[in-house]
Amino acid sequence: MDAPAGRDHDARMENHLLPGERVLWEGRPLHHRLLRRTDALLIPFSLVWFGFVVFWETGVLADGAPMFFVLWGALFLLAGLYFLAGRFVVRAVASRRTRYTITDSRVLIHGGRSGNQLTTEYLRALPPPVITERSDGSGSLAFGAFPGVTDVFTRGSRAGWRAWSAEPSPTLVFWNIADVRRARDFAAHVQRQPGQAGR
């Protein structure tokens, strides 16, 4: 089961392929959704955080507190602005620079703010692929399950600040890709082949 990489092929990907590894599928997000399920928890938290910090900083300034307390509050204020709005800017930039690849042994995700951050896993080491699909055939693909609200406490705690702009998830996700069933079929085909998890 093979197919050309297609018009989305990125020559930079060649530098990340293993000897003899073949690209089966490549794609990128069609839509850049800024809101995700984990935001059901993160948005209320960021509003409470920002409101408390504004209240605290206003009180410090009104009381004429030492400059140390003013600067200390300003740091938390900047963090609150990032939680409230800045992380969505980072997420939008990262989404537009994201590229997904399925090879005959691995999945690779190029992303991050620069588009050069690489995440990769051997397909046979991942759970089976699952998808959500729209009427036009586009959708998202995850391995095992899509991230839920509680994942912000698990992976989010290990990912640090990145968890606020990226999707906290225990596995890889291809968000909003065209012909999501085709990508799933390539991944499932590789997983069904006999062999070890890695080469």
pLDDT, tens digit (0-9, with 9 covering 90-100), for 1-24? 434 444 445 666 677 888 999 999
Supply φ then ψ for residue 159, to 5 degrees. -85, -15
Instruction: Describe the crossing of helices 39-62 and 67-81 by its angle, rounded to 10 degrees.
Output: 160
In angstroms, the Cα distances linking 192 to 4, 57, 70, 159 are 20, 58, 59, 31
Query: Which residues 6+ apart lie within 8 Å of 28 measured at CB?
Result: 8, 98, 99, 100, 177
Residue-wise pLDDT tens digits, 66-84: 887 778 888 888 888 888 8
pTM confidence score: 0.67
User: Amino acid identity of 78?
Assistant: L
Q: Which two tokens stand for residue 94?
A: 């990262």
How many Å apart are CA 124 and CA 174, to the nearest integer? 17
H helix intervals, 63-169: 67-81, 87-96, 151-159, 162-165
| Whether the predicted pLDDT of 177 surpasses 70 | yes
